[in-house]
A and B are shown apart, each in its own frame.
Chain A
């Protein structure tokens, strides 16, 4: 008699545990958010959420009917309030664990992003692995409402594009929430965020027309890296300076650079395969200076002038030209940041902290001023690895 009773008791306890009375989250009750947008308004924030519409986003269902994702937005004084208010517009509660993108608009960034981000740092459902970007000349609401031809879920498209472009094209930088968390707390490095442009006809971009024609009316483009001081956006870097930023922080995985041909008119293009950077801080009589040593391995990707690539001197000349060009680019970029913005986004401060702790302890409060006056030398180590499939460009001129 005892054993069946015990068994029933145990089963009863397990039933209470497994059915999860209190904290159960049925999948049908969740609105999975893949994109979040925060705009600044007078009342507070306008929060836009892009939600997956599951039955319509699945590829197997033939793409019939409506869009793969929905966008809902609302205004409130704080982010958490806005998210809860959104349940009045949706039959489900918003679930943030699958966020791919967070978009902020420029007005928000110029005001300071620490306050709205506190919710994202604090909530336990939010994971720190999504990307953050600033929408330039537009609102996050618009950016999240576009349809994208290649990927069904627009926020995923933005995320994949940002990460892909960081790997293949130096001027963009994928900044995760984790990176922002680290930079906000660090004295020696300031935050950066990538800028997103929407190019084209915004109204058409929000409709199915964007997906239906070969040349979609609205395209998005990542352009420029925004320099921030603490949590306020100061300004934007142009393409070359953004490249410099990525070179110095060692984030370049592969990119392409144009170089003038030595002695002849025309340009050739190097494809960078590997770029490593080392920042060596130096302290001289209490004055900081740094050397940035960049090691690049590159392939010749495109030659538009007539050069004899079989000759060693020509390759050497190309190498020195490429190295010089890159060095000017990087040095120019660093100088521009020093003079125009005066904030250390490259992380020189953390290097000084690690090597000269005593100096850092005395100067870290005025690090940004020290950084602007600092002398930075760029040293290149350039290696040409390969030339591609053909050696000489087609139709090479004959030497007279």
Chain B
């Protein structure tokens, strides 16, 4: 897998749920300064990347399972793997699936039962993964430019209705909301850099890996900053926190010259593309990790049962959308622990082990 493909895959993954839900969450936390947490988060992300590159060199081409077993010992390694798999990729997979279902049953197809949507998209996911993950990576070369062009189109069309003075007064409520916003932005979507560790066996060299991480971070960061900033400019700061799907609403307000109207379908198309990649990445990691956990050589056999199991899980995960607000308050703890602290832990454990071995 080339560095460019990994960049695109990661960028599409970060955009995954962020495109529709992030502006609303950020503006709810930080008000009109919501652009600042995103910029800060991007910078912090760049600072964390060296940790992951270091782990990459420690991993030496092994898969995550083998690396963890090497570092922490057989039982601890496998338990760690199981915990991580369950709490990060699999959980994100189920939650993202559920949010896809919520979106389609609220805004697009109201009468369709969400399980039909799940069945359809899972069918597509399973089929794509059967063809191999490399095929998926190659497909990003087609879909990423499409998503990018549509996104740029959306951003450009929002400029027309923008009121530049909506940013003042800057930092009205002080720095605290910005800090909160940064923490939340680091948590979602950005700390999922750790998920890229699972793709290490497919990446050939360290330079490519590092380049991919850096590029995907700034591409996502800049587009999200622009999107959030434009939404603040177009809608102000009091409307977005009240609406879960702001990007689509902002697109509904675009009318230029009386003929360029109704472009909110663009947002829906982008969203479907990026959600697909988020789902496929987490699903692949979950399936592959499970295969390693149980000592299977191929993960393809696990795809179908996992998919079948995830439908009832996704439907039962919460009973009404207000749980999302509660979840958003505490989600950063889960992610910080597994995606930031744990890699740090693994890195230091590996270093210590090496030192012990060599002494």
Contact = CB atoms under 8 A, between A and B. Distances in A.
A and B, one complex?
yes
A357 B108 contact: no
A178 B243 CA distance: 13
B172 A357 contact: yes
B285 to A, nearest CB: 25
A3 interface: no
A48 to B, nearest CB: 24
Interface stretch (B73-81, B247-255, B293-301, B351-359): B247-255
B236 A13 contact: no
Given A22-B111, A23-B112, A178-B253, A186 B238 contact: yes
A355 interface: yes
A182 B233 CA distance: 12
Nearest to B124: A13
A185 interface: yes
B116 A129 contact: no
B165 A128 contact: no
Contact of A124 (B106, B112, B238): B106
A129 B255 contact: yes
A127 interface: yes
B165 A354 contact: yes
Nearest to A350: B165
Contact of A23 (B108, B235, B252): B108
Given A181-B239, A354-B165, A355-B168, A128 B112 contact: no
A341 to B, nearest CB: 23
A43 B12 CA distance: 52
B111 A13 contact: no
B236 A185 contact: yes
User: Size range of the interface on B?
Assistant: 20 to 34
B109 A22 contact: yes
Interface string A1-24: 000000000000100110011110
Contacts of B242: 185
A7 to B, nearest CB: 13
B169 A354 contact: yes
B312 to A, nearest CB: 20
A22 B119 CA distance: 14
Interface in A255-304: none
A368 to B, nearest CB: 18
Nearest to B161: A178
A117 B33 CA distance: 29
A110 interface: no
B170 to A, nearest CB: 9
B252 A127 contact: yes
Nearest to B171: A357
B113 interface: yes
B109 A128 contact: no
B107 interface: yes
Interface SS of A by simple majority = helix
Interface residues of A, number: 20
A353 interface: yes
Contact of A182 (B109, B111, B116, B239): B239
Interface in A338-376: 353-355, 357
Interface string B285-323: 000000000000000000000000000000000000000
Contacts of B109: 20, 22-23
B253 A13 contact: no
Contacts of B239: 181-182, 185
B236 A186 contact: yes
A231 B165 CA distance: 25
Interface string B192-227: 000000000000000000000000000000000000
Nearest to A14: B120
Contacts of B236: 182, 185-186
Contact of B113 (A22, A128, A181, A182): A22
Interface in A117-153: 124, 127-129
Contacts of A23: 108-112
A237 to B, nearest CB: 24
Given A182-B235, A185-B238, A355 B110 contact: no
A129 B253 contact: yes
A157 to B, nearest CB: 16
Contacts of A124: 106-107
Interface string B95-131: 0000000000011111111001000100100000000
Nearest to A182: B236
Given A182-B239, A185-B238, A357 B169 contact: yes
Contacts of B111: 22-23
Contacts of A20: 109
A129 B108 CA distance: 19
B123 A13 contact: yes
B95 to A, nearest CB: 22
A17 B272 CA distance: 15
A178 B236 CA distance: 11
B261 interface: yes
A17 B252 contact: no
Nearest to B249: A128
B112 A22 contact: yes
Given A22-B112, A23-B110, A357-B169, A128 B253 contact: yes
Contacts of A178: 253
Nearest to A10: B127
Contacts of B168: 354-355
A128 to B, nearest CB: 6
Contacts of B253: 128-129, 178
Nearest to B235: A182
Contacts of A17: 120
Contacts of A185: 236, 238-239, 242
Nearest to B123: A13
A357 B110 CA distance: 43
The 8 lowest CB-CB distance pairs between A and B, nearest first, are A23-B109, A354-B168, A185-B238, A22-B112, A357-B169, A22-B111, A124-B107, A23-B111
7 contacts: A17-B120, A23-B110, A23-B112, A127-B262, A182-B239, A185-B236, A353-B169
Given A124-B107, A128-B249, 9 more contacts: A20-B109, A22-B113, A128-B252, A128-B253, A129-B252, A354-B165, A354-B168, A354-B169, A357-B172
